[in-house]
Structure 1
Amino acid sequence: MPWTLAAVGSLACTAAFAQAPSNVPLDRQVDEAFRQVMGAPGDMGVGMRYAQLLVQAGNYEGGIAAMERLLLDPAAPASIRLELAALYYRLGSYSMSESLLRQALDDSRLAGEQRAFAENLLRDVTKRGQVSQLDGLVVLGARAQTNPAGRTSQGTVLAGGVPVAVADAFKPKSDTDLQLMLRLDHRYDLGTQNEATVVSSLVAQVIDFSSSSGSQLRVNQAQPYNLALAEVTSGIRFKPSPANMQGLALRPHLILGALSAQGHRYLSNHGLGLDAEYRIDERTLVDGGYEYRDYSYASRIDVPDAKALGGPDNLLRVRLSRELGPGRVLTGELRGRFHRTDRAYYDHDGYEMRLAYSASYANPLTQSGGYWTTTVWGGVQRRSYGATDPAVDPATSRRDTEWRIGIGNVIPLADSWSLLLQLEHMKTSANLPNYRNRNSSLYGAVAYRF
């Protein structure tokens, strides 16, 4: 189910949040719960509260040990095995999680939403234990935008350094589009001690604007392009030092991509990359990577100097994710992109910073509607170009600053179906009026995960 991971993150701590006084520091609550356990070692409720507080504090291994002690009692409720299975799942111990889930489901006392959650988690765990695993996502949506073509918001622009009025055809215009996206992820476990796995992904997307039709190419196209893109990556993910640095994983991979516009080839790229991730602790993950792509543009009537536009592109990124509490994640990311062409005024270096906060919570409309996930984000990107463009202004090199903010929500509809809603605003400030623009978009989609 779309909310499975969020539920895993919050299930084991729900009771602790409901019972813990907000004005008492968490470490003091843990200490007090431990003293209560020592005073009443046979009290199941006291022992469970202590285990949940340990988990809430980020001490998952301590929480697991506390819950396993409770299972020594033959009368222990099935919900303890379910919460313990969720913790093992979070730590990647899928065989232990599967065993506990099967025991919990064999207990007739497990009922209602807990039983449904256990069944869904068991299907996920069983799949993860297979040598060959295929996951997929299909998204069908519609989007409305105020300025999808990124037209300047200024009344005049520069042509050879001389101000000229913007023609009506090239002023910002709102538009809507339909989108269809497919993502396939395949993993093949090689069965080695360093957990080597062949990981391959396919991403394909089609975007059809209501104002664009046919496949006729024009000079100075005024309408936004209908687009079709596809990208394939494949490489081996492994842990280079599973004994000494269990949390480190690397994935060198190959990249192949293509983009068509108005039914004609627009550009293609190929290259290679290296993904890396390191789990510092149960709540903190650092990941990043490097990608090299070589771009090649197709010669067509609407792409002047096509050969000059192509060239190497280098991308560096690093991201830090911190789980602040059950279902609440804060993420910060830094990116640097360095693009080179056959014309210095097309060359540019870009630096970007992104920040996102995500929270998962029980469906506010019904008690058995799964978990909603809301994400808010913001970012800023600065681009500097390598030389002046004589066609725009022979005296000034282009510099842009792009600001972006947004909010999105994922709402589960059924076992594998979910509703996606997203609102975003983007504004670009530039030292040249030709590139100052803004755009707001509203996106809604239905997603199916298999």
Structure 2
Amino acid sequence: MALNMRYARLLVEAGNYEGGVAALESMLINPDAPPSIRLELAVLYYRMGSYGMSEALLRSALEDKRLADEHRAQANALLRDVAARNQTSQFSGFVILGLRHQSNPNARSHRDMVYANGALVPQNRELKPDSDTDVQLTARVDHRYDLGLQNEASVISSLVAQVVDYRSSSGSKLRADQTEPYDLALLEITSGIRFKPAPILLPALRIRPHLIAAELLAQKHQYLSTAGVGVDVEYRFNERTLAEATYEYRHYDYASRVDVPDANQLGGPDNGLRLRLMRELAPGQVLSAELALRDHDTSKAYYDYTSQELQLTYFVRHANPFSDNGDYWLSSLWTGASQRRYGAGDPTINADRTRKDNELRFGASLTIPMDDKWSIQWRLEHLKTHSSLPNYDNRNTSLQASVVYLF
């Protein structure tokens, strides 16, 4: 029995899940087989995405009175997850309530001299960087509806809502010379069918074409709306390596209002491509590399831009330093660099110099779970932008404390 168990585990470590399943199932012929074998099988079927088989094995293992308490706790935890995944209609998501302080939320230039109509002039003192604090409420609801097809097709829909309320900004009156940060309200909906296009030849490949619609309000008035289409592509090389790609086409439409000059010229098509590779380096340690490319077109060349951004993030799960009861904390560190190139010089600033921004950011976060639903999160980030025009040189440091609820 011990040799067969060792053989099954070696097969799994080599990536031969089907062989591991066969070896474990052959052990169940013995009526005296320990219930932990059914638990191991359930875990393996879970890793293979066969949640129905996993649930049946877990329930069988839990019915066996010989199952050790440690294994029983593991089986119950996995059963809750599997039972949710086996439902035809599934909801999940989170709510975040946070308080954030920023040293320069409006990205104002810290330079003393800036360009205006091609000439260097002193920076208006009222437009110097100024700190501010805001309250954020963010909610995301994901819904999955299983179509019951052989290619695991499901309708995946997401709704994201966010409200940002700045301390220095109040009321809903719009001004042409708005200097305070905008109070914002965002609503975005995406929906599409996720499926495996080649379940036999490429079982690890999944794609999701989807529709996109979003609305942004500023100071309780419509600011812009977007609509478009996209496609998500996911390929899992193995349990430790995941590759994702997302392409989106959106059309931006800015609302005409007193504080948005030339609103009809700001809108236009936007193409974005985001690539991400995630690798589990060791248990509880994940490295993520993300590349984002964007091309934004408008009616004026000096509003057009292309951008490239690269970000590296390191996630680590570690034991609670103040307790030895098995609790864990989650930390992350990230750094990123991006560049934006605009299409032409802005005549109201300097027609002879085309804007190019180089941005560098780095930050850290700490998530402290209180239970399986609630957690506290701290987030610190510093961003620095160097531009070919001093008008856009800026720095911003933000610190945010949040309460997170998962459902």
The 5 A counterparts of 1:175-186 are: 175-186=132-143
CA distance in 2, matches of 1:125, 1:220: 55
Q: Is this contact kept in 2: 1:131–1:189, CA < 8 A?
A: yes
CA distance in 2, matches of 1:50, 1:409: 40
The 5 A counterparts of 1:66-215 are: 81-108=38-65, 115-215=72-172
The 5 A counterparts of 1:29-428 are: 42=1, 44=2, 81-108=38-65, 115-428=72-385
Q: Calculate the TM-score normalised by the size of structure 1.
A: 0.83
Moved more, 165-174 or 421-430: 165-174
1:170 is displaced (CA, Å) by: 1.3
Q: Is this contact kept in 2: 1:91–1:282, CA < 8 A?
A: no
CA distance in 1, matches of 2:258, 2:382: 32
1:273 is displaced (CA, Å) by: 0.5
2:197 is aligned with what amino acid?
Answer: P
CA distance in 1, matches of 2:17, 2:361: 36
1:164-201 C-alpha deviation (Å, 9 max, x unpaired):
22223211111111111111111111111121111111
Q: Calculate the TM-score normalised by the size of structure 2.
A: 0.92
2:217 is aligned with what amino acid?
Answer: S
CA distance in 2, matches of 1:358, 1:116: 26
1:397 is aligned with what amino acid?
Answer: T
What residue ranges of structure 1 are gaps of 5+ in the alignment?
1-41
CA distance in 2, matches of 1:410, 1:64: 36
Q: 1:159 to 1:366 in 2, by over 3 A?
A: same
Counterpart of 1:415 in 2: which secondary structure?
Answer: coil
Matched, 1:438 2:395: yes
1:42-80 C-alpha deviation (Å, 9 max, x unpaired):
5x4x87677667767766667666766776776666556
2:276 is aligned with what amino acid?
Answer: R
CA distance in 1, matches of 2:297, 2:346: 15
1:406 is aligned with what amino acid?
Answer: G
1:262 is displaced (CA, Å) by: 0.8
Moved more, 438-447 or 112-121: 112-121
Counterpart of 1:169 in 2: which secondary structure?
Answer: helix
CA distance in 2, matches of 1:79, 1:434: 66
1:133 is displaced (CA, Å) by: 1.1
Counterpart of 1:152 in 2: which secondary structure?
Answer: coil
1:117 is displaced (CA, Å) by: 4.3
Counterpart of 2:276 in 1: which secondary structure?
Answer: strand
Tell me which residue corresponds to 1:5: none
Counterpart of 1:397 in 2: which secondary structure?
Answer: coil
CA distance in 2, matches of 1:382, 1:355: 16
Aligned residues: 407
Q: 1:420 to 1:276 in 2, by over 3 A?
A: same
2:372 is aligned with what amino acid?
Answer: D
CA distance in 2, matches of 1:58, 1:407: 34
Moved more, 389-398 or 160-169: 160-169
What residue ranges of structure 2 are gaps of 5+ in the alignment?
none
